């Protein structure tokens, strides 16, 4: 038996690790930005293998530039219609636009930045109906 409190919990808290894939951008919640070291004006890279997607922060200027969503938003986005379309088209099924997906930490790093996996098998809404 283990006592669990706010200081020692290590379970994956799905409710906050969310991205939104919209028609013209991919939005990262503030918690995702903090966890995976995404910063305003910074860059992000994606890896795509079929419907498996991952991302990481990068210092490489060839990455997608992260920008603020609005002055009251704590999250960041990649405003790129082609990227959002590629994401939706890579899924093996139709999902509504916009769609929310959970993000999970992997055990990998690239250039010192943690790699995150986008859980594309089910949207947040689909998981909530289980």
- Residue-averaged pLDDT of the chain: 85
The pLDDT assigned to 99 comes to 92
DSSP symbols for 39-91: -TT-EEEEEEETTEEEEEEES-TTSEEPEES-TT---EEEE-HHHHHHHHHHS
Q: What is the pLDDT of residue 16?
A: 66
Residue 3 has pLDDT above 80, yes or no: no
Residue range 46-59, pLDDT digits in tens: 999 988 999 999 99
Residue 100, both tokens: 């929310």
- The mean per-residue pLDDT over the stretch 113-126 comes to 89
Say if CB 4 and CB 57 are below 8 A apart.
Answer: no
Which range, of 15-19, 34-38, 41-45, 104-108, averages the lowest pLDDT? 15-19
């Amino acid at each position: 038996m283990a006592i669990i409190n706010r200081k020692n919990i290590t379970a994956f808290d799905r409710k906050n690790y969310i991205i939104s894939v919209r028609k013209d951008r991919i939005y990262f919640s503030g918690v995702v930005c903090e966890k995976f070291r995404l910063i305003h004006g910074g860059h992000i890279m994606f890896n795509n293998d079929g419907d498996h997607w991952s991302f990481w922060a990068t210092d490489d200027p060839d990455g997608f530039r992260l920008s603020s969503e609005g002055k009251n938003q704590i999250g960041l986005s990649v405003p790129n219609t082609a990227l959002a379309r590629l994401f939706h088209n890579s899924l093996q099924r139709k999902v509504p636009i916009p769609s929310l997906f959970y993000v999970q930490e992997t055990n990998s790093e690239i250039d010192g930045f943690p790699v995150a996996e986008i859980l594309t098998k089910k949207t947040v809404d689909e998981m909530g109906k289980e």
